[in-house]
Amino acid sequence: MNKTITIAHGNGGAENHELISKIFYRHFHNEILEKSEDAALIEDGRLAFTTDSFTVSPLFFPGGDIGKLAVCGTCNDLAMMGAKPRYLTCSVIIEEGFATSELEKIVRSMQKELEINGAKIVSGDTKVVPRGSVDKLFINTTGIGEIAKPGISAHNLQEGMAIIVSRDVGAHGATIFAAREGIALESTLETDCTSLYPEVKALIDADVEIAAMRDATRGGVAAVLNEWASASEVCIEIEEEKIPVQEQVRGICELLGFEAVSLANEGTFVLAVAEEEASNALDIMKRHHENAEIIGTVTMEHPQKVLLNSSWGTKRFLDLPSGELLPRIC
């Protein structure tokens, strides 16, 4: 590893995984943590438990703000384990001089998302630091949820399963970049940030047998697929032309030299189900986003790898994102 931390270590890609595995996992090693799921399963699998910190810049962006992001991020991690979000904590670090009107706007956004999830803030902490010690406002949220659908895991993938993405990818990362750089877009591009529990509940209520779910945050869909391929020791083959991407996001990617599948999302998840479950699952997901799509399948051609089949008939490995992508996008 590098002797010092770089921005790349927070990108959700290769460097981030190296940092976590070589320092945090090595010292905090235990059987719950090593499963490396979106949320830890505790109390004999009855509860899901997760935490996340949010440092997004700018604090307000098209379609959301840091408050909405904080609640969606934590509740979505619980939902990805088949859990109903119930209780959250909220800790804030506020820079001296921050406007109370903006703080109240952010807190209102948080409460709106809590209501969507049927969850509540039950504990918290507030710190104010001198001007210049932090960039306006940082938020940490920790959540507990009740498992409604047990057995969901990144280790469950088997040959023949279908891979489905819930909507177009990369919108959050592209929106944050455009807002940060002051790029005027003719379109109405905005973050995909949303609470995913209602959609997950629809899948659970329809008795869809879910093998794995994960929201594609930092590192995007590429990171999720690589984590699954490694955890389940399978190959995941993806059809590039099946991946839904907004034209505005494609334009941002061309400008940055990134791939949409590597950009962060905050309301997009990837689902793995048995082939016979795929059609029903897709129908349910399309009721929430019409561009949900089956993008690939699980094979054993190259275990622990993600294989991208291009529209030109070529194949290449889709690796974990690396380098300094877009810092502070969540």
Query: What is the pTM assigned to this prediction?
Result: 0.96
Weakest-pLDDT range from 55-59, 192-196, 266-270, 308-312? 308-312
Cα 201-206-211 angle, rounded to 5 deg: 75
Candidates 73, 79, 205; CA nearest to 139 is 73
| DSSP bridge pairs for 41 | 48
Q: In what order do the strands lie in the sheet with 293-299?
A: 210-215, 269-273, 162-165, 293-299, 235-239, 305-309, 315-317
Considering the chain, what percentage of its residues have pLDDT values greater than 70? 98
Residue type, 306: V
Distance CA 77, CA 81 (A): 7
What residues have CB less than 8 Å from 241, skipping those under 6 apart?
310, 311
| DSSP bridge pairs for 97 | none
- Higher-scoring residue by pLDDT: 258, 290: 290
Q: Do domains 7-147 and 162-317 have the same CATH topology?
A: no
Alpha-carbon distances, residue 92 vs 58, 72, 116, 251 (angstroms)? 16, 16, 22, 35
Query: Terminus-to-terminus CA distance in the chain, angstroms?
Result: 24
Weakest-pLDDT range from 16-25, 33-42, 316-325? 316-325
- Domain ranges within the chain, ordered by starting residue: 7-147, 162-317
pLDDT above 80 for 1:
no
What residues have CB less than 8 Å from 164, skipping those under 6 apart?
270, 271, 272, 273, 278, 281, 282, 285, 292, 293, 294, 295
Tokens in use for 71?
């609640």
Query: How are beta strands 305-309 and 235-239 bridged, if at all?
Result: parallel
pLDDT above 70 for 185:
no
CATH architecture under which domain 7-147 falls = 2-Layer Sandwich (3.30)
Tokens in use for 284?
């349910």
pLDDT above 90 for 137:
yes
Q: CB of 12 within 8 A of CB of 217?
A: yes
Alpha-carbon dihedral angle through residues 280, 283, 288, 292, given to the nearest 10 degrees: 100
pLDDT above 80 for 90:
yes
pLDDT attached to residue 187: 66
Domain 162-317: which topology?
Phosphoribosyl-aminoimidazole Synthetase; Chain A, domain 2 (3.90.650)
Weakest-pLDDT range from 58-62, 197-201, 252-256, 315-319? 252-256
182's enclosing H/E stretch is none
Q: What is the CA radius of gyration of the chain?
A: 19
